[in-house]
Structure 1
Amino acid sequence: MFVDYVCPYCFLVEGAVARLKRERDVEVVIRPFELRPDPVPTLRPEDDYLPRVWNGSVYPMARRLGVEIALPSVSPQPRTAKAFMVLQLAQERRLGEEYSGAVFRAFFQQDRDVGDDEVIIEVATSVGLDAAEVRHALASPERRDRQVEAQRYASEEVGVTAVPSFRIGGRRYSGVLDATGLIEAVDQSQAPERAS
């Protein structure tokens, strides 16, 4: 699943992914895709675009799903490369999903700047990561290079242009899929296996 931590739709799809995991034996791997990688300017909540999208789409969807979410006031919106560098560490410690959920909650429910090193450290340690390891990850040129490569892979090899995006059985699905849509996609991807 390709996500960006500043994308509200990626946060809203968490419930559908959780149901998919309960109903099917699947592994969900969180992969980074920065919607606005440096040097592309990030969005500002005080401009017209974000409130319009949130009022017209995000808030109605959140109400329907029963998810508490608010347009963060952090301006401009944070870059997420550093948070994704720590995701690498979290995944190595088998805490990737917990960490990602905590980053989403920090931004969309606690109005915290998830591009700030100290916020990232607090979020990461809240799910069990070691603060010294997180600091090392944030300063690591190797992790930075891996993040750049992950962005290239997502856009050039997988063809991701928007998030959330899912790669299921070699097919790419883009947008907010509900649990039924995700389950159907998994079932279709496994149909040839069942037939043999």
Structure 2
Amino acid sequence: MIRTERRRVMKISVYSDFVCPFCYVGLYSLSQAMADLDVELDFHPYELRRFPTPKVDPMHDEKRLKRFDEVLKPMAESLGVEMNLPMISPHPYTTDAFQGYYFAKQAGKGLDYVKLTFDVFYQQQKDIGNPVVLREIMDQLGLDGAAFLKALEAGTYRSEVDRDWEAKAELGIQGIPTYRIHGEEIRGYHTPQEWRTIILDQAEKTMAGMVCTSEGCGPAAE
């Protein structure tokens, strides 16, 4: 009996923070590029700053305001995505928001949480450092918002977030968004067209390693 080849899905690791505007448009761009491809996203929290590092206050920073108007807003418009500069001064830390990610992930809705949290911040302009707002996100996802608040108060998922924070130096990431595919690092924003080229090029590299074993035929193990 001839065994059929097992389909292999490409995984893209995404290192991102909710208060990184290029991470927001970058996720939309990548999502559009992979819509009809066998690709999965593997999200990794990457906090840019924690107390006592000062929070960023774009509303009182002319350079950031100009960059939003001249660079970020046109990027979002080219993707057909609504994007606002959150009228929150200063912007929040995201330690609690990433505890929310792990709460949602254990329910199988991690990536849904990531996308909705980005939208709540950059479209609805709500403070994602506020536990009440995070509970609303859980409720919208059909999760138990009250249980999340209890978990947040108890620090149930704090160890996971602290582990990510402590691992930053080992990752060697110079800036976010950063993506990794089969060990290759891709940094910064890319258009959907650029992403498709990157993904298809990586797929060709993977397909070049086809082998047959007692379990069947497919790509060589990495």
With normalisation by structure 2, the TM-score equals 0.80
Verify the 8 A CA contact 2:177 2:188 in the aligned structure 1.
yes
Q: Paired residue for 2:188?
A: 175
Describe the superposition over 1:39-88 as per-residue Cα deviations: whole angstroms up to 9, x where unpaired.
Answer: 21111112323212212211121222222111111111011110001101
| Local SS of the residue matching 1:134 | helix
Structure with more strand by fraction: 2
Counterparts in 2 of 1:79-98, with a 5 A limit? Answer: 79-98=93-112
For structure 2, the 5+ residue unaligned runs are 1-13, 210-222
Identity of aligned residues (%): 29
Highest CA radius of gyration, 1 or 2?
2
Q: Paired residue for 2:92?
A: 78
Cα separation, 2, equivalents of 1:79 and 1:175: 21
| Local SS of the residue matching 2:60 | coil
Q: Paired residue for 2:142?
A: 128
With normalisation by structure 1, the TM-score equals 0.90
For structure 1, the 5+ residue unaligned runs are none
| Local SS of the residue matching 2:186 | strand
Tell me how many residue pairs correspond in the alignment: 195
Counterparts in 2 of 1:12-161, with a 5 A limit? Answer: 12-44=25-57, 45-153=59-167, 155-161=168-174
Over 3 Å counting, the alpha-carbon distance change for 1:55 and 1:193 in structure 2 is: closer
RMSD value, Cα: 1.8
Cα separation, 2, equivalents of 1:182 and 1:2: 16
| Local SS of the residue matching 2:81 | coil
Measure how far apart 1:189 and its partner are.
3.4
Structure with more helix by fraction: 1
